[in-house]
A and B are shown apart, each in its own frame.
Chain A
Amino acid sequence: MIELENVAYSYGYGGGALLSELSLKLSPGSFHFLTGPSGAGKTTFLKLCYGALRPTSGEVQIFGKDLRGMDRDDIAMARRRIGVVHQDCQFLDHLSVAENIALPLAVSGQEHLADGNLDELMAWVGLTERANALPAELSGGERQRAALARAVIMSPDVVLADEPTGNVDWEMSQRLLTLLVELNRMGKTIMIATHDLSLIRAAKAQVQARVLRISNKRLQLAGADL
């Protein structure tokens, strides 16, 4: 699905590399967690995975295509197969929550698919009541649920979620996790960046999940001690 080969990345000029010697292969149906201290580069790593950032050196392949050979249209097409939950959940503030969740369908010209799916999904993340609210009127947790719903509405091959449970209570985080686990059982590839160790433990009880850790600019496979 997504492959990184000896990738390094640094923001701007001059500064040293934030990440280096990253190699990872996200195979179909795999389930990964990404941990590491704040500021280690988890968000940056995810952005490299969906082509929002281009590596300073090394090679990124998205769905078998070299990122260097992809133009913006190619990347847009790849994004339709990758559901992304942003850490700061960006929405279009002038559209309702329901319209925001259905946005990926709208931009790919598939609004007609929204009908049944949207209601079901909204109910699943517990936002049915808030469907017509504006994003600005949502609580932090509600925004995260909406962001997750938007990320999965296209039934993407890959879901990359950055702190999807940062602001929700334990019960809701379990529900969101269940949604992701269910998608994984359907064969989707999942990667979640999180600080929440209890979430990782809960997931490991349900699926075969690997835990990656960023420390000292490198990506490491964390031990089974979690």
Chain B
Amino acid sequence: MKLPAFASLLAGDTNADRVVPPTGVSARLTLLVSGAMAFLAVFALALSLASGRLATRWGDELANGATLRISAPADQVAAQTQAALRVLDTTPGVGAARALSQDEQRALLEPWFGPDLPVEDLPIPQLIEIIESDGSFDPAGLRLRLAAEVPGAVLDDHARWRRPLVQAASRLKLLGLVSIGLITLATAAMITLAANAALSANAQVIAVLRLVGATDRYIARAFVRRFTLRALTGAAVGTALAMIAVALLPDAGETAGFLTGLSFVGPHWIWPLMVPLLAAIVAFVATRTAALRMLGGLS
């Protein structure tokens, strides 16, 4: 019911618009509020998307976050590796454990020593990759067992410290979304106030329109159309400014920290474009509700 009304509203009939005199202050207020709110919403959106990306990336790293290193005399490495794999096999919380092949180890070292490193001939520790299955992985307990059974094993769970960060990033994403919700509500409230002010200021106009047979819908439309277009305009400007500001954030490359990762990435640039549309819908619903309620009260 509301969508066709919304479409026809934007399509035309400026005539209904004319019957309401220009509403100075509340009009400028709507423009300003929706512009400022759109600006804030775009930043909240950027924050939310960036923390979402961060949470996903860090979360992936968490999953294979532990490594076992076997340093032993060359003739014992194979035996200790087998022993370590047996231990890991019966360790709760370990989804999979796999000794890296020599090619994989060479690939890991390649950035430092070049492609031709004779890995076979060097006393390089054997690496075992541990993939956690769930949260029950207990590094301290594993270390105790390894100390007894595989003297050359060193457990490195370097990525574990990131767990609270992943939680923080997820929380940040949520807060960003909550902020967008609050911004939407605040915009609706402000536009409702402005619309109510405009309606009260035009009681005389409403009386004349009633006298000549205008329906509530006709009268409301004049106000609604005006406020919706204002909110759309204001939000478009606010969004454009915020997008420019986000785009101009210095880019320190893909691996840079959180602050510079705030920019939108690829298809995420679509999301901020929804902000003006959201503002227009909010203004439409808020003004229409305010107008019909007020007109229902006056009789």
In the complex the two chains form, is A76's CB within 8 Å of B215's CB? yes
On whether the beta carbons of A107 and B216 are closer than 8 Å, the reply is no
Q: Is the CB of B21 within 8 A of A107?
A: no
Check: B211 CB closer than 8 A to any chain A CB. Answer: yes
**Cβ–Cβ contact A91 & B208, under 8 A:** yes
Instruction: Tell me the nearest residue of chain B to A85, going by C-beta.
Output: B211
Q: Is B22 an interface residue (CB 8 A)?
A: yes
Q: Which of B15, B205, B216 contacts A92 (CB 8 A)?
A: B205
A79 within 8 Å of B by Cβ?
A: yes
Q: Is the CB of B21 within 8 A of A106?
A: no
Q: For the complex, is B249 an interface residue (Cβ under 8 Å from A)?
A: no
CB-based contact A103/B215 at 8 Å: no
In the bound complex, residues from chain A placing their C-beta under 8 Å from that of B210 are: 52, 76, 79
Cβ–Cβ contact A72 & B215, under 8 A = yes
* Closest CB in chain A relative to B222 CB, distance in Å: 10
Contact of A90 with B22 at beta-carbon distance under 8 Å, contacts A72-B216, A73-B216, A104-B212 already known: no
A-B contact count (CB 8 A): 61
**Cβ contact within 8 Å between A94 and B22:** yes
**Does A84 belong to the interface (CB within 8 Å)?**
yes
- Contact partners of B216 in chain A: CB under 8 A: 72-73, 76
- Which chain B residues border A95 with CB–CB below 8 Å? 18-19
Partner of A90, one of B19, B207, B215: B207
Contacts known (A77-B213, A79-B213); A111 close to B208, Cβ less than 8 A: no
> Bound complex: CA of A60 vs CA of B113, how far in Å?
101
A101 to chain B, nearest CB (A): 10
Let me know if A108 and B213 touch, CB within 8 A.
yes
Closest 6 CB pairs of A and B: A79-B213, A80-B213, A107-B214, A94-B21, A104-B212, A76-B215
| Chain B residues within CB distance 8 Å of chain A | 15, 18-19, 21-22, 204-205, 207-218, 295-296, 299
Chain A residues in the interface with B (C-beta under 8 A): 52, 72-73, 76-80, 84, 86, 90-95, 99, 103-104, 106-108, 111, 150, 154
Q: What would 20 more interface pairs be, CB under 8 Å, given A84-B211, A91-B208, A111-B15?
A: A52-B210, A72-B296, A72-B299, A76-B216, A77-B215, A79-B213, A80-B212, A90-B207, A92-B19, A92-B21, A92-B205, A93-B21, A95-B18, A99-B18, A103-B19, A103-B209, A104-B213, A107-B209, A107-B218, A150-B212
